[in-house]
């Protein structure tokens, strides 16, 4: 193990890291390649990041793979992204299962083609008892849509307005049972959440890097974790004063 990762382990590592995997298209454009080549390179990079999370002791990794707004992209690109997701499941599932990775999905599966929806559900079922690392795939996901869905479920349950609490809403989110991320990473330098985990990231530490997602490998993840370890997380409170002599 390199000295950089051993140094990182001397301090608490975030148990849940969420990543907005941005910059695939720009990575491809810089190289004179079609945008889908960038998305393909991004999926190849995901292997490195998953291994790094296991090595560092991260327990949850949430990746923003496809937003509810992404359906508005050119049809060729949307179809390509769906095919990439399908091929990744087919190619990587067995190895991820062997390595103890549990796969979960957040978002809505209804718009996915039936064969792809079935493959996602089968992957979730196969890996449901694994506990080394939980990889949460946000596909056809939007933070606002998630909150609307939660409110709908609460109303259907007949809950009185005065009984609605933050905890109750959390229990009806797609992420129910998953701890909120301590660290949200965005690659490519954009300074926004883009409708990603808008409820869960209320007090997450943000790490923005200009590095495009296909180039965000193990060492870049270590940099993000080190930056997180330098933060003072107060959750809206004042910093505790040192004890008086």
Alpha-carbon distances, residue 108 vs 22, 51, 114, 133 (angstroms):
21, 27, 13, 22
Picking from 61, 52, 48, the residue whose alpha carbon sits closest to that of residue 18 is: 61
Query: Known catalytic residue: 79?
Result: no
The C-alpha atoms of residue 17 and residue 24 are separated, in whole angstroms, by 20
Structural domain boundaries in the chain: 10-142+178-229
CATH number for domain 10-142+178-229, candidates 1.10.287.810, 3.30.420.130, 1.10.3720.10, 3.40.1180.10: 3.40.1180.10
**Apex 123 CA angle, 196 and 153, nearest 5:** 50
Point out the catalytic residue in the list 22, 24, 45, 180. 22
pLDDT given at position 11: 83
Per run of 10 residues, the mean pLDDT along the chain (length 245 residues) is 51 95 95 94 93 96 95 92 90 94 95 93 97 96 97 96 96 97 97 97 97 96 96 67 53
Point out the catalytic residue in the list 45, 70, 115, 215. 70
Alpha-carbon distances, residue 146 vs 104, 169, 173, 199, 200 (angstroms):
15, 10, 6, 9, 11
pTM of the complete model beyond 0.85: yes
Query: Known catalytic residue: 245?
Result: no
Question: Exposed/middle/buried for 58, CB within 10 Å: 0-12, 13-18, 19+?
Answer: buried
């Amino acid at each position: 193990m390199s000295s950089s990762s051993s140094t990182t382990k001397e301090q608490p590592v975030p148990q849940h890291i969420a990543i907005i995997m941005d910059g695939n298209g720009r990575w491809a454009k810089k190289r004179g390649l079609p945008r889908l080549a960038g998305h393909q390179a991004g999926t190849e990079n995901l292997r490195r990041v998953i291994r790094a999370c296991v090595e560092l002791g991260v327990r949850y990794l949430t990746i923003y793979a496809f937003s509810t707004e992404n359906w508005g992209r050119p049809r060729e690109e949307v179809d390509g992204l769906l095919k990439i997701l399908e091929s990744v499941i087919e190619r990587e599932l067995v190895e991820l299962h062997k390595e103890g990775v549990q796969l979960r999905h957040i978002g809505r599966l209804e718009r996915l083609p039936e064969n792809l929806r079935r493959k996602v559900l089968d992957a979730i079922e196969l890996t449901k008892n694994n506990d080394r690392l939980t990889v949460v795939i946000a596909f056809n996901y939007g933070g606002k849509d998630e909150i609307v869905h939660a409110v709908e479920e609460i109303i259907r349950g007949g809950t009185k307005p005065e009984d609605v609490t933050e905890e109750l809403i959390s229990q009806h989110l797609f992420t129910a049972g998953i701890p909120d991320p301590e660290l949200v990473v965005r690659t490519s330098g954009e300074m926004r959440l883009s409708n990603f985990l808008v409820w869960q990231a209320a007090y997450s530490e943000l790490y923005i890097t200009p590095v495009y997602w296909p180039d965000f490998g193990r060492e870049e993840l270590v940099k993000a974790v080190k930056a997180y370890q330098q933060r003072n997380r107060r959750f809206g409170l004042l910093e505790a004063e040192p004890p008086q002599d």
